[in-house]
Amino acid sequence: MLIIPISGKIGWKNPPVVTLALLVINCLVFFLFQVNDDESRMAAEQFYLTSGLVEIEVPRYISYLEAAGKTTEKHRKNGDMDADALMKIHFEMEADADFLRHLMDDRIITPQDSDYIQWEMLRRSYEEKRNKSIAFAYGLRPAYPRASTFFTYMFLHGGVGHLVGNMVFLWILGCMLEIGSGRKLFVVIYLVSGFLSAGLFYVIYPLSTIPLVGASGAIAGLMGAYTVLYGRKKVNVFYSLGFYFNTAKIPAIVLLPVWLANECYQLFFSGVSHVAYVAHIGGLAGGAVLAFAGERFVGTVDRDSFEEASEDKVSPLMHQALEHMGNLEMRQAQVLFEEVLELSPNNHDALTHLFNIHKLNPESKAFHDAAKRLLRVLLTNNEDHQAALACYETYSSLARRPALSIPIYLQLAGIMATAGRIDGAEKIVLAILKKKPETPGLPSSLMKISQAFHKNGQMDRWKRYRGLVCKRYPDSVEAAIILRAAEKINHPI
């Protein structure tokens, strides 16, 4: 069973530099130092077979097993064993920590034995050759633990296939987690998960002499963290069950028990395997706990970055609509622009194109509606105020009976006054003052016109509008400001 999370959010605006660094480090370690590891190991085993060391140690190992009542049929063929059979027993012996401890303590071959000196010399030479293998020198061997190997093991791999498989998972998970969890927390999850993975392996197999290597424990930690940080969010996953494969969208937290159950099943029911399922379980559990702690106590998790990237439906519709406009197929273009506005109601470009389509029929209700919709959007942004004035000029020149709302007129008047187009602003405001003098916002508009006249040096009209504000709206904030200013400079209104 294979279950892989998938995402379409990988990008380079905020690149996953830590993930890339980990990828590079793992690849450099393998191709610079480990690429000839198999040759080093084979050279050591060839020495073991041809130096005579096999004839000294293997018979004694068989005697050790006989004394313990652990011999099988293959051990009883001592005199008839070929090189392959001897090496198989040798590999079994190298995995037997109890025997090796007795051997290295001089309790199997004692100093009184006639071949002790030869054995000691050959054994030392064999171990020197074997330890030229980076995996043996820096991999985690629980029977011979060194603190440094609890970290160095996670940057080593058993072969190209092992490396590639781990790096693919590291890339997939790293890109999704690094930005959201924060780079510091991401590094902590990766390294500490790898340490916890090794720790559980050490506890379960304390007598193992075979080196544990690979980044899969640390990557399993990223998998555990992924399920916690996404939590109940539904995420896309690719899954394979034998020959059947598909994608599904499920809450991320569901993946944690599924992944753990799969590792436990493989551990207990898959038979003899070189895969360290216990290390995977330790990494998964450790990563989940670390992510939970990081989110609750460190406070560096940015959940927004975990949101699934929404599909861009607007751009294709805009492209199609503009093609129709280019072919003068205005009806088809109009329909598509309306679809865009259903998805993005304030889309500036779609509203502008609709306005331009409907201005071909300025007497239609659709033209008035398009002008209102476009102006509402343009008036909300100071940078679009000039475009709003241009839109209004086009609209007012084409529409026989303009039908904008009073708030829109007042906003336009304020922009005109600020831009120095006082006559247009005055015309709009006085018309509203005559028809609907109680309109909210009128005192503010009159004040803006007054300030525009002052800036323009038209002091008589400045005074006139100040007086108009105080006379028509004596309780307004604007009137209070004018009176307070007049009192300070003892200037008549």
In this structure, the answer to whether residues 12 and 102 fall within a common structural domain is no
Q: Global pTM?
A: 0.60
Q: Which amino acid is at 486?
A: A
pLDDT in tens, 142-164: 998 899 999 999 999 989 999 99
With CA atoms as reference, report the closest residue to 371 among 351, 386, 397, 347. 351
In this structure, the answer to whether residues 197 and 89 fall within a common structural domain is no
144 inside domain = no
With CA atoms as reference, report the closest residue to 358 among 394, 387, 410. 394
Residue 102 in tokens: 């007795």
**Contact between residue 291 and residue 224 where contact means Cβ atoms under 8 Å apart:** yes
Instruction: Quote the pLDDT of residue 339.
Output: 93
pLDDT in tens, 419-465: 888 889 889 989 998 888 888 888 888 888 888 888 888 888 888 98
In angstroms, rounded to a whole number, what is the distance separating the alpha carbons of residues 273 and 335? 62
In this structure, the answer to whether residues 451 and 482 fall within a common structural domain is yes
In this structure, the answer to whether residues 182 and 251 fall within a common structural domain is yes
Classify residue 329 by its DSSP letter: -
In this structure, the answer to whether residues 297 and 417 fall within a common structural domain is no
Count how many domains the chain has.
4
Residue 85: give the domain boundaries: 36-134
pLDDT at 313 over 80: yes
pLDDT at 490 over 80: no
pLDDT at 360 over 60: yes
Which uninterrupted H or E stretch holds 245?
strand 244-251
337 inside domain = yes
pLDDT at 484 over 70: yes
267 inside domain = yes
**Residues in Cβ contact with 341 at an 8 Å cutoff, skipping those fewer than 6 apart:** 347, 350, 351, 354, 373
pLDDT at 357 over 90: yes
139 inside domain = no
pLDDT at 308 over 80: no
Is 491 or 56 the better-scoring residue by pLDDT?
Answer: 56
pLDDT in tens, 28-51: 999 999 988 888 889 999 999 999
**Residues in Cβ contact with 449 at an 8 Å cutoff, skipping those fewer than 6 apart:** 413, 417, 422, 425, 426, 429, 465
271 inside domain = yes
In angstroms, rounded to a whole number, what is the distance separating the alpha carbons of residues 152 and 140? 8
Instruction: Quote the pLDDT of residue 302.
Output: 57
pLDDT in tens, 225-266: 988 888 887 777 777 776 777 777 788 888 888 889 989 988
pLDDT at 80 over 80: no
Q: What is the mean pLDDT of the chain?
A: 86
pLDDT at 61 over 70: yes
141 inside domain = no
Least confident piece of the model among 38-47, 175-184, 401-410? 175-184
pLDDT at 289 over 80: yes
Q: Is 237 helix (H, G, I), strand (E, B) or coil?
A: strand
